[in-house]
Amino acid sequence: MNDNARFASTQDEDLTQLGMKYHNEGDYPKAAECFQKAMEAGNLIATRLMGWFYQDGLGVEEDIHKAIALYQKCADAGDVEAKTMLADIYRFGFSGVMKDPEKAIRLYREAADAGDLSAMVSLGSIYSYGHDVPRDEKVAFEWYRKAAEMGDHHAMEMVGILYQFGDGVEEDEDKAREWYRRAGVEEKHFPDPEKERQMELFNRWSDTREREEFIRMTMMIFPDIDKGKAEMWADKLGYF
């Protein structure tokens, strides 16, 4: 790369970053202006972002056909995120563009095979729920698992759900718990019974500010709880 080309590349990257700054500040017209200039200099990310702006009418007049053309240009140049965005349009239909499930799945597969996590998760959802294809929980599990192994937290949770209920894979509570832990949602699916009892007490007796009354009522409601544990719960709730 010669010096002029390197300067041009740096300049359009700077414009793209400046466009994102304006976007984050809610100044969509200025963001669109930056992306447009960077796109004209050949920046693929800016081109994809202009597609998004035309799709949602951010800083420019909404034009789904311009959006599709820009996404397609990026996809043809190897931008996998653009393939996924195109796939989303054909999966759900958008602003008069008819749904095309076959095209959507083909694009998702191409993007997923190239490593796009969003495409993997979308394929997992499509096959899990049977959206426009025969339901296939085994295929759904494989796509979710691939995305989970690459770090997608939603996919980790879905793998946990499939293991927990034996959908598309042999039921395995230990593996379900492992994936839930990795996703940070284990208590959502396997609540801690003791914490639930503590919260029940808190909700039922939060009007009282008498610590001893709380301890007395705890021992009355739960006969297996001795005074020491009731006191510990009172301290843990930190209400008194």
Instruction: Retrieve residue 239's tokens.
Output: 């209400």
Query: Phi and psi for 97 in degrees, rounded to 5?
Result: -80, 125
Instruction: Indicate the CATH number of 79-189 among 3.40.50.2300, 2.120.10.30, 1.25.40.10, 3.20.20.100.
Output: 1.25.40.10
The structure's pTM equals 0.76
CATH code of the region 1-77? 1.25.40.10
Instruction: Retrieve residue 80's tokens.
Output: 């996998």
Residue 5: band (very low, low, confident or very high) from pLDDT cuts 50, 70, 90:
very low
Tens of pLDDT, residue by residue over 193-217, are 766 666 666 666 555 567 777 777 7
Asked if 1-77 and 79-189 have one fold, the answer is: yes
Domain ranges of the chain: 1-77, 79-189, 193-237
CA atoms within 13 Å, Cβ hemisphere of 137? 12
Tens of pLDDT, residue by residue over 95-145, are 899 999 999 999 999 999 999 999 999 999 999 999 889 999 999 999 999
